[in-house]
Structure formats: C-alpha cells, structure tokens
C-alpha cells in the first residue's frame, strides 16, 4: 500500500505491526485523519473549475514498484504540454494533492507518500509530474512539494525495504521515542519494550489469558 510508506518513514516497527502482523487500533489522531479523508473521498467524483478538473479518490498503481493505493485528489490542468485523458478533450497536466490532519509535522514522510503517488501516475499516464501539494487541516494551507531525484530515490529505497520486510515476515524491535505516546499502536509496543518479543505474540497470549 502506498500509504504504508508514510508509516515506514515515520516508524518501521509501526508499519510492520500493521502490514506484517495485521494489528491495528484507532485513537483520536487516526479518527481525525479518517474523518478528513471521508470528506475528500468520493470515488468517481469529478468537478470542473474553469481549465481545471478535480478528480477525487483516484486509484493508482505501479507494476514496476509493486505498489497500489489511492490519491485523495488529482487536479487535471489543461496544458498543451500535457497528456490525453480518456473521455476528455485536449491535453492535461496531472497534479496530485494529499490531505492530512493537523500541522506539517513529520513532513518528510508525507512528502514521500505524495511522491510515490506521483510516480504511480507517471507510469500509468506516461508523463512527468514535477510537483504536487500537501493540504493540512489545522493550517488550511497547501504546501507545494517538488519531486526531486533525491526524494524519488528515497521512495524506491523505502519501498524496496518494505517488500523485503514483508516477504521475510520481519517486524523490527521497538525503539521508544517521544512520538510513541501518540501512536495508536503504543500498547502493542509498550509490553515488549523490555522483552523484545513479538507484538502479535503478546496479543495472542493476552487473548488466551482472557479466555480463562
């Protein structure tokens, strides 16, 4: 999942708990994020604003990178240097926009997720996408993101590591930090900070204990 690169860049263990061990729990931050995305996502919705078409919840994928996901919003700007879009007259330039709750804290992870979306769109539409934008709920402001070669290389590096972790079924050991308390998966990590055991094993043991 493309969204996984955001988790991976922020905390590899958090990513593995969700994607390798299939664990998840909501907290106020995840619920606020879901609420914002529900307001944006309306699969199949398009809206024209002059020379710009807004397409929400656009599914994207890359066969080369072996990733798939969904763009919150893709703006199609009429541009003579753009590409043809099925069902639309003229040529269009694609501009992905990702919506995030809160403020631009940990912005690099958000930028990498957006860059991965752009790389999928480039492969699907055979085009170049030099930049996109992040919209933050608290600031109500767009942050322009340029997709540099360095950022693209980091996306590919992280995706390669994600595939390797997934194929091995590997979950990194916990490393306690300041951001841990705000993570919805904290209680899965906290019991094993000292024991260094599997979070899935901890959950299994707790379930078995509750049955007696």
Instruction: List, for residues 88-116, the tens digit of each pLDDT value.
Output: 899 999 999 999 887 777 689 999 999 99
Cβ pair 21, 172 in contact under 8 A: no
Q: Once rounded to an integer, what is the mean pLDDT over residues 23-42?
A: 51
Q: C-alpha angle 65/70/76, rounded to 5°? A: 100
- Evaluate if residue 131 carries a pLDDT over 70: yes
Q: How far apart are CA 21 and CA 169, in angstroms?
A: 8
In terms of Cα–Cα distance, which of 158, 160, 142, 159 is closest to 72?
Answer: 142
102: left (phi over 0), alpha (psi -120 to 50) or beta: left
- pLDDT: is 46 or 25 the higher one? 46
Q: What is the pLDDT of residue 82?
A: 96
- Evaluate if residue 2 carries a pLDDT over 80: yes
Over residues 176-206, the pLDDT tens digits come to 777 777 777 777 776 554 445 555 665 666 5
């Amino acid at each position: 999942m493309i969204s996984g690169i955001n988790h991976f860049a922020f905390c590899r263990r958090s990513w593995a708990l969700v994607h390798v061990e299939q664990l998840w729990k909501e907290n106020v931050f995840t619920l606020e994020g879901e609420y914002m995305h529900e307001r944006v996502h309306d699969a199949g919705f398009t809206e024209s604003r002059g020379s710009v078409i807004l397409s929400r919840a656009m599914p994207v994928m890359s066969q080369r990178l072996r990733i798939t996901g969904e763009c919150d919003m893709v703006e199609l700007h009429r541009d003579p240097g753009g590409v043809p879009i099925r069902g639309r007259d003229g040529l269009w330039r694609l501009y992905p926009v990702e919506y995030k709750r809160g403020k631009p804290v940990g912005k690099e992870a958000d930028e990498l997720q957006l860059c991965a979306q752009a790389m999928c769109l480039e492969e699907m539409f055979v085009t170049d996408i030099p930049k996109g934008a992040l919209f933050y709920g608290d600031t109500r402001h767009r942050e322009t993101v340029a997709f540099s070669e360095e950022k693209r290389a980091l996306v590919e590096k992280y995706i390669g590591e994600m595939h390797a972790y997934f194929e091995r079924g590997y979950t990194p050991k916990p490393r306690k930090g300041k951001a841990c308390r705000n993570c919805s998966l904290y209680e899965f990590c906290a019991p094993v900070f000292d024991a260094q055991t599997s979070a899935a094993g901890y959950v299994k043991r707790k379930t078995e204990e509750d049955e007696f």
